[in-house]
Structure formats: C-alpha cells, structure tokens
Structure 1
Amino acid sequence: MDTNAAAHQTRITRIDLPDHATPVPEPNSQRPSLELLHDVTVVLEVRLGVTETTVKTLMDLRLGATVELSQHVQQDVDVLLNGRVIARGEIVAVDDHFGVRITELAAT
C-alpha cells in the first residue's frame, strides 16, 4: 500500500439535513411569474417527415435524387420543442423563408 495514500484516508460522515418538501400551493393562489424564463434559449424544429431506407440506397444518392418522406403534401407537420411535439401546423411561405402556421396545440 502506498504510504502517501494511507496518510490521506478519506473520512465519510453522515449529515442529517432538514426535510425540504415542496409546499403544495393553495387552490386559489396565483401561478408564479414565468418572466425569469423569457430569455432561456430552446430549440424549436419542424419535422417535415421521415423515411426508412438502407445504407446502400443512401450511398447511391446523387445530385437531383428525390427522397420520399412519410408526410403527405397536405398533412400538417410536427413542431417540436427540445425534441418533444408541442404543436402541428401547415407549411407556409413567409417572404423567401419557410414558416409554419400552427393549426393544433398539444394537450398539456
């Protein structure tokens, strides 16, 4: 055994902490303000569709190739917040950019 390690033995002591249970809000109390979260950055993405394919098919892709997706042209697309579906909507053009017009919000 390393004499240096023996001289520096770790001592573990139990610490009793008070109970910090979250209080249950009164039924008529106001919700806390969410203003603190206004500047939090999140990832919002739109899932246009998916497809399942083989590696060979991927390797055979060339310029101009078309990949068919599961989504139909008139079907709403999923809007995801940090990977979770929060809404659905239709693809629209906003000037020279794509946009999504929300048609359905996910139940909370």
Structure 2
Amino acid sequence: MNEIGAEVDGDIPEDQLNRAIEELRGALHEEDKRPQEKAKPERPASNAAVIMNIPVEVQTVLGSADMQVSELMALQKGSTVALNRRIGEPVDVVVNGRRIARGEITVLENDPSRFGIKLTEIITAAKPA
C-alpha cells in the first residue's frame, strides 16, 4: 500500500507513484483555490411571459389646476375646477408615474356611455408626468 492507503501495482516504482500522488494533490489544492463558479438557477423558458403578466397602473391625465388652499376648501358639490387644458388638446397617458403617450379622448363605439383614449403619439424616452 502507498501513503494514501491504495494498493500499488508492483510494476510502478513507489517513488514515481508518490510523485504522481503529490502532483495530483497539488493540482487539487490549486483547484480548491480557484473561485467556484456558482450554478446559475434555471430560468423559465420565457422571461417575456413573466414580464408580460406584471400589472401596471395606466392613468389618463386630462389636466391639472393650481389653486390656493382656501379655494380648495371652498369647493362643494356642483363646483367646477378649470383645468390647464382646452377641449381638443391631447391628454397624457401615464404608466406607473411615467408619461408614455399622448392621445385624444374618444367615445367607445361599442359602449357610447364610456370614453377612451385614441393614442396619437408614443413617447420614446418616457419622462415623469
């Protein structure tokens, strides 16, 4: 038996076998020093499918108004708040707080009691609304 407890074939000189064992130990020691590559977790077949199912909040901003607190406190049922946009001007479409498009208000064909937005411009570099 050699120094690691394995039986040795009589054809190989023991000193050569011991050198080979030491080289192997050195190689294994060097292998241990290398940073181990962590196994990457398996990814779903399609990340796009996961992303497409994330809910987002879509808002249409018809306009805004600046007013003093006293004017705000004076509002009551039936009061009118004048917005900073005029009839026919485009409205902003905002997703999760970022303006992504502009459009015009339209009445839905299949339900005239509701309205929607017909997109007229897609904003490529989304900017905060």
Coarse TM-score class (shorter-chain normalised): 0.5 to 0.7
- Report the residue type matching 1:89 in the other structure: G
More helix by share: 2
Instruction: Deviation per CA, 1:37-77: give whole Å up to 9, x if none.
Output: 12110000000000100111011112211100001111000
TM-score by length of 2: 0.56
* Larger relative contact order, structure 1 or 2 (CA cutoff 8 Å, min sep 6): 1
The answer for unaligned runs of 5 or more in structure 1 is 1-16, 19-31
Partner of 2:120: 103
Question: Identity over the aligned pairs, expressed in percent?
Answer: 35
- Give the alignment's Cα RMSD to 1 decimal: 1.9
State the partner residue of 2:58: 44
Deviation at 1:35, TM superposition (A): 2.1
State the 4+ residue runs in structure 1 displaced beyond 6 angstroms: none
Correspondence for 2:97 among 77, 83, 93: 83
Aligned to 2:87: 73
Q: Which blocks of at least 5 consecutive residues in structure 2 are unaligned? A: 1-34, 37-45
SS in 1 for 2:53: coil
**Match in the other structure for 2:3:** none
**How many residues were matched structurally?**
79
SS in 1 for 2:55: coil
Larger Rg: 2
Displacement of 1:105 after TM fit?
0.1
